[in-house]
Structure formats: C-alpha cells, structure tokens
C-alpha cells in the first residue's frame, strides 16, 4: 500500500488549507491506502482523526512535525512531546523512549528548517524524507544520498498544505497496515520505499535516477 507520510490539516496547522474530510476523499481518489496527519508542533487532531478513521474505514495515522532546535523531525507512536523547542537529540530520545519512530523532514530544504549535515551526528533516527513535495529535486536527491549512506528508511511524502499537492509523493509499505502498531512494525522492517504519483498511479523511485519532472496533480 502507499501512504502519504507528511501532511498538514488546517485545524492545528494554520498554514494549511485542507480539512480532514477533503484529505481522505482526495487520498482515496489518488489510490492512497492511508494518510498521516503531521501538524506543526501539535497532535490535537488525534481523537477526531481516530473517530473519522473508524467511521470511514480509512486508516489515518496522527503524528507530529516537531521543530527541534536543529530542524524539523516527524514522529509517530508517541503520546507526549516537548511544549518548547529542545534539541533534535533530546526529541529523538523521547520518541524512542515511548516506542515511537521518527524521520528527518526535508533535511536540505533551503529554509533553515532541516537537519542538514546534522543527520550525521544525531543518533536514533529511523528514516529520512527523500521525496518532499515542497522541496527542490536537488535537495531531495541530497537527502537520498545521506539516507543511503546512513542505512535509514527512505520516506516519500507530499508535505501538503493545498489539495493540488496531496499525494504527490508517498511511501510504499510492503504490507497493509491499519493500526499504529502495524505501521511502526512495517516501517522498521526495511521494506518501505519512496514513490511518486505519475500518470494516474504510484511508481517506486529508483534513487539512482534523478527526478526533474514538474510534479502536479490535476
């Protein structure tokens, strides 16, 4: 199945124009098997998303995009998170202590919000976002090079804030997952791959082949 791993909903991410109901509808149209809500420094949508997932039968995994002192990190499977900015290492350690997973979001985007070369010094990351829908191809490729060198899971995600971006990139899961426990287990299994939406379907990305296509979903 394909899952968009990094998405923003307007209730708690004020820079987003998307409501959860629209996100689920569009995700189904584009062939996604599940979505992830990763609002900025907030997990307030969790209960509503869980109820909506039960109502629709469509899996919704709620995590967080946490802005550490060194850059953005997406995490899942946690209940508590710092309410103030702390170092990337402190946040990663907290995620691991709670049995969760985390990956570096857009590490080389040119907005000073990524971990950049600190990928080489922090300990405990599970993955690296190597396809991000709001990041230039060159920066995505650099992230892929670092992920490969570090042996971390490679993640594709739209980082969508508008309908046109939803599902532009996703992550292939080799098994269907419906619970957070399954999601974390399969993510850690090593079989996940970044994918891009093209010609009405998802295609796995060969990280040795640079992507320069002008991605847009009509």
Question: How much of the chain, in percent, has pLDDT values that exceed 70?
Answer: 95
Instruction: Compute the distance between CA of residue 118 and CA of residue 122 in angstroms, rounded to an integer.
Output: 6
The pair of three-digit structure tokens given for residue 30, joined into one six-digit string:
């584009």
CA dihedral of 89, 93, 95, 99, whole degrees rounded to 10: 150
pLDDT surpasses 90 at 77 = yes
Mean pLDDT, rounded, of the chain: 95
Specify whether the CB–CB gap between 115 and 70 falls below 8 A.
yes
Say if residues 4 and 24 touch (Cβ distance below 8 Å).
no
pLDDT digits over 121-178, tens only?
999 999 999 999 999 999 999 999 999 999 999 999 999 999 999 999 999 999 999 9
Residue 145 token pair: 């090079």
pLDDT category at 218 given cuts 50, 70, 90 is very low
Domains of the chain in start order, with CATH, are 2-204 (3.20.20.140)
Question: Cα angle vertex 186, ends 185, 187, to 5°?
Answer: 95
**Is residue 215 over pLDDT 70?**
no
pLDDT beyond 50 at 214 = no
pTM beyond 0.75: the answer is: yes
- Alpha carbon distance 96, 112 (integer Å): 25
Using N-to-C axis directions, what is the helix angle for 46-56 and 20-29, rounded to 10°? 40
Give 40: exposed, middle or buried? Use CB within 10 Å, 0-12, 13-18, 19+.
middle
Q: What is the pLDDT of residues 82-116, one digit of tens each?
A: 999 999 999 999 999 999 999 999 999 999 899 99
Quote helix, strand, coil % in the chain, to nearest 5. Answer: 30, 25, 45
């Amino acid at each position: 199945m394909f899952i968009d791993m990094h998405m923003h909903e307007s209730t708690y991410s004020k820079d987003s124009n998307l409501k959860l109901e629209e996100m689920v509808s569009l995700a189904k149209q584009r062939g996604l098997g599940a979505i992830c809500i990763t609002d900025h420094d907030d997990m307030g949508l969790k209960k509503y998303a869980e109820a909506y997932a039960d109502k629709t039968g469509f899996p919704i995994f709620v995590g967080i995009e946490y802005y550490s002192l060194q850059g953005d990190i997406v995490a899942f499977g946690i209940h508590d998170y710092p309410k103030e900015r702390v170092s990337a290492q402190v946040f990663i350690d907290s995620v691991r202590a709670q049995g969760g997973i985390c990956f570096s979001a857009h590490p080389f985007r040119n907005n000073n919000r990524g971990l950049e070369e600190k990928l080489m010094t922090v300990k405990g990351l599970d993955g690296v976002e190597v396809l991000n829908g709001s990041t230039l191809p060159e920066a995505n490729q650099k992230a892929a090079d670092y992920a490969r060198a570090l042996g971390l899971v490679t993640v594709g995600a739209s980082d969508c804030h508008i309908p046109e971006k939803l599902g532009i990139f996703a992550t292939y899961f080799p098994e269907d997952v419906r619970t957070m426990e399954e999601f974390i287990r399969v993510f850690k299994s090593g079989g996940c791959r970044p994918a891009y939406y093209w010609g009405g379907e998802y295609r796995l990305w060969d990280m040795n082949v640079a992507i320069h296509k002008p991605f847009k979903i009509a």
